[in-house]
A and B are shown apart, each in its own frame.
Chain A
């Protein structure tokens, strides 16, 4: 279901790093030998055998990351991102696999469009890409897509992301029908009659700035609805980019009752609050909007305790001229592939809010599990999907450093701690810095 450019696999030895794989229970200084792209040996003082050596001294070697939520803007807006540029950005961010959303032009709602994308990924993708297909034709919220054929063609899951499934009846039918596939439904929870006219979280800051408020219930009432439907149909559900405490509370309650729902949170929702919008920087405008500090704390707690099992960047590239407009005129969305680890390391791990092991799990095994993909792991016989992290590094985010075609990052100019030094994806060294 995942596709990347075919290229020769590497023979590598990573020496001297602290290997850390919370799922496999690996934590200690260990050398890793990779033969022809597969982890062949873990041990100390491994022989080099003519392999290329990566010096891991002082670095953390972890399973590479999996991003369950990326907008590659292809087809239709290749000026903003292509499969080549988006996967290069992913490699720089430590990702070995990313999942692309279907809200493109045209929408990925037919086997023909999906097939073309898969072909392109096989020609261009630096790291493995999986494609989600739409729930409804044209994401119009009226008619179901041909989910059977799309699953056969290789759709990793189904979503109308970018838009909610407004009609409850359609969401119900989608849950029923998708059961003929083994692919999850992923939902963007938003009641558009509540979010209409909203450009930021409704609260103290929107009241003062006079920016149209987007109440957190616009998300949470849809979360409640979709969890109720999933419960009724006994189906799995993946909740995308949660932003509100009420949504987290509803999810935790449902999980406690045995509902098989997973969820993701983005670095920006985990780090920022609506207070940041006072700067009126359009790179702080995203859907859903940044919540208040209670929302943010609830997300961090849910990520820590596993209620939310995935970090998702919701990497959403936008052309510069579209973002260089007043806040309310700007489109929703920010980039994130190249900064996610550093942002969360700086703002959650260093201050002691989240253990490093937990962050690594939520950025790799968690998302893989949510979509039924093989999780990257540090184990003999596993394909080499690893990342080398420098937790001592300090760096300043700048536009020039991005591989993404778009620069609409909320972190430009910020000083961050922790940096991705190398990424090995499917046995290929795809990034080194």
Chain B
């Protein structure tokens, strides 16, 4: 009986690929990242055409769930899904059942009942994406979980750097400011180190987490260190995360005086990045923000195509490499 075959192997329905998520840069290999950046580049070319909508994800449902406020991340995910012809829904914590005290688990189960293909989640706490992944069948894209990770931000930053320099390996990136509270910093450190860049963290001692060098970066409190970098990545000074009386820094005034990124502290040709929203005049001098060497607007544009690539990758190709032509063909 052991040899009974009721169906020829080539007639079997294909087994669905294992459900993948993008929760942390740690979920990705170097190959994964390079594939995603390649896909993003294809989408960028597709978007240069007059008809910008691609039919790739027609019939798919992408739900954006944002427990924290967001402008660029939520809008770019929504537009990314729409450009790929997916149906989209956006849920914000305020004005939803969350306001009535519904737990994350129950909210996730409720949304899961609509059979979404992807849930894009921003939540103030680490572990929220894993919890939603456990209780729904959707693929989860982490759009920021507490101070932990913001992987699509790191991917769009890598995309921006790659487009600007033509490479990432061997570049020196200085990340300046409030690393302690920054999920952007954590994802970027991980991604940049993975791709062979050198990363130096610069900021006030209480805002550089003890032990972070284990991620493969260097740390210093000396702002002059940014002079040696190819790219100065300025973090937002997150007032909303500063507990009253926590005394991470004595004042914003002193912070700006010591660690503000000003024209005097830069040398010509250095590129400036910032995840936004900026506090002009606090962590970044307005002259620096508006200078030709600032890639800040490029980052926002990169956000759209990178997020299109992430959605496309999770729902279609998987770990198989994608040639630059694939998205064009389906268009």
Contacts and interface: CB of A to CB of B under 8 A. Distances in A.
B103 A327 contact: no
Interface string B86-113: 0000000000000000011100000000
A154 interface: no
Given A324-B131, A328-B125, A207 B214 contact: yes
Nearest to B246: A197
B147 A326 contact: no
Nearest to A193: B245
B214 A325 contact: no
Nearest to A292: B211
28 contacts: A196-B243, A197-B243, A203-B211, A206-B209, A207-B210, A207-B211, A207-B214, A207-B215, A208-B214, A209-B186, A210-B126, A210-B146, A210-B149, A210-B181, A210-B183, A210-B209, A211-B146, A211-B147, A324-B105, A325-B103, A325-B131, A326-B123, A326-B125, A326-B127, A326-B128, A326-B145, A327-B127, A328-B127
B148 interface: yes
Contacts of B149: 210
B153 to A, nearest CB: 13
B127 A204 contact: no
A336 interface: no
A207 B201 CA distance: 13
A213 B146 contact: no
Interface string A196-229: 1100001111111111110100000000000000
Interface string A317-331: 000010011111100
Interface in B167-207: 181-183, 186
A213 B126 contact: no
Contact of A280 (B126, B181, B183): B126
A208 B147 contact: no
A249 to B, nearest CB: 20
Nearest to A330: B127
A322 to B, nearest CB: 10
Identify the interface centre among A208, A210, A280, A321: most chain B CB within 10 Å of its CB: A210
A39 B210 CA distance: 56
B98 to A, nearest CB: 13
Contacts of A324: 103, 105, 131
A202 B209 CA distance: 9
B212 interface: yes
Contacts of B181: 210
A204 B145 CA distance: 19
Given A197-B243, A325-B103, A208 B126 contact: no
Interface in A323-370: 324-329
Contact of A326 (B131, B186, B212, B214): B131
A334 B122 CA distance: 28
In the complex, the 7 A-B pairs of residues with the closest C-beta atoms, listed nearest first: A210-B147, A326-B125, A207-B209, A204-B211, A280-B127, A207-B212, A326-B127
A285 to B, nearest CB: 10
Contacts of B212: 204, 207-208
Contact of B125 (A204, A205, A208, A329): A329
Given A208-B215, A210-B186, A325-B131, A202 B126 contact: no
- The bracket for how many chain A residues form the interface is 20 to 34
Contacts of B214: 204, 207-208
Given A197-B243, A208-B215, A321 B126 contact: no
A215 B105 CA distance: 30
Interface string B209-244: 111101100000000000000000000000000010
A211 B214 CA distance: 15
B130 interface: yes
B126 A325 contact: no
A328 B215 contact: no
Interface of B: 103-105, 123, 125-128, 130-131, 145-149, 181-183, 186, 209-212, 214-215, 243, 246
Interface in A258-297: 280, 282
Contacts of A208: 186, 211-212, 214-215
A321 B103 contact: yes
Contacts of A328: 125-127, 146
Contacts of B148: 209-211
Identify the interface centre among A204, A211, A325, A329: most chain B CB within 10 Å of its CB: A329
Contacts of B145: 326
A419 B104 CA distance: 38
Identify the interface centre among A208, A211, A321: most chain B CB within 10 Å of its CB: A208
Given A205-B211, A325-B125, 5 more contacts: A204-B214, A206-B209, A210-B146, A215-B210, A329-B125
A205 B26 CA distance: 14
B189 to A, nearest CB: 9
Contacts of A213: 209-210
A67 to B, nearest CB: 30
B105 to A, nearest CB: 6
Contacts of A211: 126, 146-148
A94 B262 CA distance: 66
A325 B107 CA distance: 12
Contacts of A203: 210-211
Contacts of B131: 324-326
Nearest to A212: B147
Contacts of A321: 103, 105
A344 to B, nearest CB: 28
Contacts of B103: 321, 324-325
Given A197-B243, A324-B105, A206 B211 contact: yes
A324 B108 CA distance: 12
B290 to A, nearest CB: 31
A325 B104 contact: yes
Contacts of A205: 211
A77 to B, nearest CB: 18
Contacts of B243: 196-197
B126 A326 contact: yes
Nearest to A322: B103
Given A210-B146, A210-B147, A325 B183 contact: no
A295 to B, nearest CB: 14
A326 B186 CA distance: 19
A85 to B, nearest CB: 25
Contacts of A215: 210
B119 to A, nearest CB: 15
Contacts of B210: 202-203, 207, 213, 215
A329 B67 CA distance: 14
Contacts of A207: 209-212, 214-215
A87 to B, nearest CB: 31
Nearest to A199: B126
A202 B214 CA distance: 13
Given A321-B103, A325-B131, A328-B146, A209 B211 contact: no
